[in-house]
């Protein structure tokens, strides 16, 4: 009984941290699943959240070595920029001929890749709370899946009513990508941590703007060529 309370508090702490840190992940899930038929949206969100949590568990186990790898965040940030632009330029209405099953797994794959990139930093807090207990971490993350799905469902409902927010969601992903690139260990060792710290906000803002401008130009060209 004496051990039950501390373990329970740790589980609650992991759930709470995961929910707080999963805002951008919920945005990805919502954006990726918005083009699915209504009867496939919930399945897509559940699968996407499940993949997100599974990857977070893997990265928590490997986080010490991953975060110190030079160029990893630069590559991950560039990949996240590409995903953000892709989410804006993909028009669900133009893909009606694609099988629903293919669209479902395409959405899940997008969520998996994006979350793999964004989870590199987030898992530090989760690992700290788990204090080396792998099963505690897995349990805490697993039962947080419904909360992530609920967040994605809420965002998806808002996106349906205000499509312009899709651009805001993609810009958020760009912001995360810029911050990730600016914090890469190679850049910090080359230009100094203080210098790169001063570039955190400008890099994030520039990356967010880059996503919006690139997607806007691509959509204009696509419309002109249609």
Residues 6+ apart with CB under 8 A from 136: 7, 10, 11, 14, 130
Which pLDDT tens digit goes with each residue over 6-27? 777 777 777 777 666 667 778 8
For the chain, the domain total comes to 1
Beta-carbon-side half-sphere exposure of residue 216 (alpha carbons within 13 Å) = 10
State mean pLDDT over 40-47: 86
**Residue 191: alpha-carbon gap to chain centroid:** 28
Taking a C-beta distance cutoff of 8 angstroms, is the pair 170, 47 a contact?
no
Q: Is 31 exposed, middle or buried (0-12, 13-18, 19+ CB in 10 A)?
A: buried
Which pLDDT tens digit goes with each residue over 115-124? 777 766 666 6
The helix (run of H) or strand (run of E) holding residue 79 is: helix 72-89
Whether residue 200 is predicted with pLDDT greater than 50 in this model: the reply is yes
Which pLDDT tens digit goes with each residue over 49-67? 888 778 777 777 776 566 6
Instruction: Give me the domain span that covers residue 90.
Output: 4-225
% of the chain surpassing 90 pLDDT: 15
| pTM greater than 0.85 | no
Confidence at 93, pLDDT banded by 50, 70, 90:
low
């Amino acid at each position: 009984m004496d051990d039950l309370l501390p373990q329970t508090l740790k589980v609650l702490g992991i759930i709470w941290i995961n929910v707080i840190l999963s805002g951008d992940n919920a945005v990805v899930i919502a954006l990726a699943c918005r083009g699915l038929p209504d009867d496939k949206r919930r399945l897509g969100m559940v699968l996407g959240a499940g993949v997100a949590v599974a990857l977070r568990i893997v990265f928590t186990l490997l986080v010490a070595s991953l975060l110190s790898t030079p160029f990893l965040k630069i590559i991950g940030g560039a990949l996240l920029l590409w995903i953000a632009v892709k989410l804006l330029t993909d028009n669900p209405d133009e893909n009606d001929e694609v099988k629903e099953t293919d669209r479902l797994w395409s959405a899940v794959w997008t969520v998996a890749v994006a979350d793999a990139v964004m989870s590199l930093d987030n898992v530090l807090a989760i690992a700290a709370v788990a204090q080396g207990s792998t099963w505690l971490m897995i349990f805490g993350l697993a039962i947080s899946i419904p909360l992530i799905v609920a967040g994605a469902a809420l965002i998806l409902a808002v996106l349906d009513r205000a499509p312009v927010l899709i651009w805001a969601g993609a810009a958020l992903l760009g912001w995360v990508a810029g911050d990730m690139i600016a914090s890469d260990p190679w850049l910090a060792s080359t230009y100094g941590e203080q210098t790169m710290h001063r570039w955190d906000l400008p890099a994030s803002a520039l990356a967010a703007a880059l996503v919006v401008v690139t997607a806007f130009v691509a959509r204009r060209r696509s419309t002109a060529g249609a």
